[in-house]
């Protein structure tokens, strides 16, 4: 992968042109080694303004493209992602750390999501069609969309933001996480080959660049995936110009295992969905409530799975579990585990030999703790799962709901009717039964409470990139 070590591979794209950053360079760290992986162009505030100006000009023509033309372009973009799949997967491993097989899944997901979005149609609703009058409801593009993406799924989430916006007729400026811009830069390079100049731009930088973009008066919509705190800041900055917002924010998803659950059947899936991407997934299972009759048995099964993981560099064939993406998050997760143990929690796993360099934490199963513990109250966003004991299901539901977050939740049971009854009582945007964290392009996904506003995916997600316009036609 030495060929991806050069700065000229990692330039910004503004108004159809690759360009150096006026604010210098960013060091991109490989989390598996904690060493420099690449350098990337860093945008100035003036370059953010240039990108918005170019986008605004490009919107005039792009919004007039036919639906069929935009569909065709999205399919060509999917072809381009497919063509560069190997490079994209390697870039994801280099900057994000996940095992190569998971990075390849991320690339395949990006292709599938792009193709699904290409096939969506914007509806025209007929409200009235009488002798005197016809009323239609149309959905028009908004204009310039600012997309701000996180470091956990850098390619996939960029696709989630960008493709519906383009399909609806908007123009997009992406600001990836300063920790993981490389795969997203490659994605925007692929998109740029299929669209007019200015329809897609990408500016890389820290929070200052993100703020300049999200608060820009000529940006009509901001779509953001990340922390609740940053989402609140973006929302406050959107007030002056009443920007449209889609915010997918923090989550502290609870799973509840009913007493009838078959532990042999569910243990591996619970582990996979709690530790997906090393636990660095918004909708990963982050708190597990288990009936006292099965508590010890399930905790031990999960610990056995955790202890069998091979923790290491994502490019190594034997690795099943990669590093935490950055030092800040690594230190936070280590502190949460230490705090829980200081309060009497027991770590049933996490003692594997770890590489000497890099931000590695072995998957850690914690038992013997209560809901007041920080690792339960806060979103860990890392390789740790607290397991909590309950006696009555009503108590478990109440404790699951006693969070400021409401992104996802799950019920695990052989009795599907009972599971659905309890699922309806969980206060979250998505509830899964006998799985968790599974998202699909055709089902809307969004949060309740402090987990966000708006929805992504499916027709509902597409319509978030539009504004409704009612057309009255007087026939007389």
Question: Which element (helix H / strand E) includes 147?
Answer: strand 144-148
Residues 432, 273: Cα–Cα separation, whole Å = 11
**Rg of the chain in Å (alpha carbons):** 23
Task: Decide if 255 contacts 180 (C-beta within 8 A).
Answer: no
Residues 266, 70: Cα–Cα separation, whole Å = 42
Known catalytic residue at 22: no
Going from the C-alpha of 105 to that of each of 49, 148, 277, the distances in angstroms are 35, 22, 11
Q: From the CB of residue 427, how many other CB atoms can be counted at a distance below 10 Å?
A: 16
Known catalytic residue at 248: yes
Going from the C-alpha of 57 to that of each of 48, 53, 110, 119, the distances in angstroms are 14, 6, 28, 27
Residues 103, 180: Cα–Cα separation, whole Å = 13
* Longest Cα–Cα distance in the chain: 81
Residues 399, 173: Cα–Cα separation, whole Å = 40
Q: Which of 282, 373, 428, 456 is catalytic?
A: 282
Question: Which element (helix H / strand E) includes 247?
Answer: strand 244-248
Q: Which of 9, 189, 248, 456 is catalytic?
A: 248
Task: Decide if 353 contacts 360 (C-beta within 8 A).
Answer: no
Helices then strands, counting H and E runs in the chain, come out as: 15, 22
Write the DSSP symbol of residue 152. Answer: S
Residues 346, 116: Cα–Cα separation, whole Å = 45
Active-site residue numbers? 248, 282
């Amino acid at each position: 992968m030495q060929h991806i070590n050069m700065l000229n591979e990692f330039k910004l794209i503004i108004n159809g042109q690759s360009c150096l950053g006026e604010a210098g360079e960013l060091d991109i760290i490989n989390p598996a080694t904690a060493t420099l992986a690449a350098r990337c162009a860093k945008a100035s505030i003036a370059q953010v303004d240039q990108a918005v100006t170019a986008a605004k000009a490009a919107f005039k023509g792009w919004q007039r493209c036919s639906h069929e033309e935009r569909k065709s372009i999205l399919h060509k973009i999917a072809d381009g992602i497919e063509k560069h799949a190997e490079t994209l997967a390697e870039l994801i491993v280099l900057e994000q750390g996940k095992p190569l097989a998971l990075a390849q899944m991320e690339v395949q997901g990006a292709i599938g999501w792009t193709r699904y979005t290409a096939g969506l149609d914007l509806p025209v609703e007929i409200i009235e069609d009488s002798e005197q009058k016809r009323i239609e409801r149309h959905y028009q593009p908004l204009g310039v969309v600012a997309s701000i993406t996180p470091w956990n799924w850098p390619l996939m989430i960029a696709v989630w933001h960008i493709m519906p916006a383009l399909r609806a007729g908007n123009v997009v400026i992406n600001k990836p996480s300063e920790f993981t811009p490389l795969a997203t830069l490659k994605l925007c390079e692929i998109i740029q080959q299929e669209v007019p100049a200015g329809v897609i731009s990408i500016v890389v930088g820290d929070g200052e660049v993100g703020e300049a973009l999200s608060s820009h008066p000529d940006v009509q919509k901001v779509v953001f995936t990340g922390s609740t705190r940053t989402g609140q800041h973006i929302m406050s900055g959107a007030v002056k110009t009443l920007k449209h917002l889609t915010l997918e924010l923090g989550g502290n998803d609870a799973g509840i295992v009913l007493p009838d659950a078959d532990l042999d059947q569910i243990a591996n899936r619970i582990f996979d969905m709690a530790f997906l991407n090393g636990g660095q997934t918004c909708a990963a299972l982050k708190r597990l409530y288990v009936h006292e009759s099965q508590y010890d048995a399930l905790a031990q099964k999960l610990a056995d799975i955790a202890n069998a993981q091979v923790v290491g560099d994502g490019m190594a064939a034997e690795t099943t579990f990669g590093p935490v993406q950055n030092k800040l998050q690594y230190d936070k997760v280590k502190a949460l585990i230490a705090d829980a143990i200081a309060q009497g929690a027991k770590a049933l796993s996490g003692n594997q030999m770890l590489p000497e360099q890099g931000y590695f934490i072995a998957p850690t199963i914690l038992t013997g703790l209560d809901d007041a513990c920080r690792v339960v109250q806060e979103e860990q966003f890392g390789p740790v799962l607290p397991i909590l004991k309950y006696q009555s299901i009503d108590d478990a539901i109440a404790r699951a709901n006693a969070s400021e977050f409401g992104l996802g939740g799950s019920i695990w049971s052989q009795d599907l009717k009972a599971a659905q009854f309890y699922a309806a009582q969980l206060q979250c945007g998505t509830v899964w039964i006998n799985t968790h964290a599974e998202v699909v392009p055709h089902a809307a996904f969004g949060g309740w409470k402090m987990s966000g506003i708006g929805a992504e995916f499916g027709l509902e997600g597409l319509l978030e990139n539009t504004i409704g316009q009612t057309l009255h036609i007087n026939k007389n």
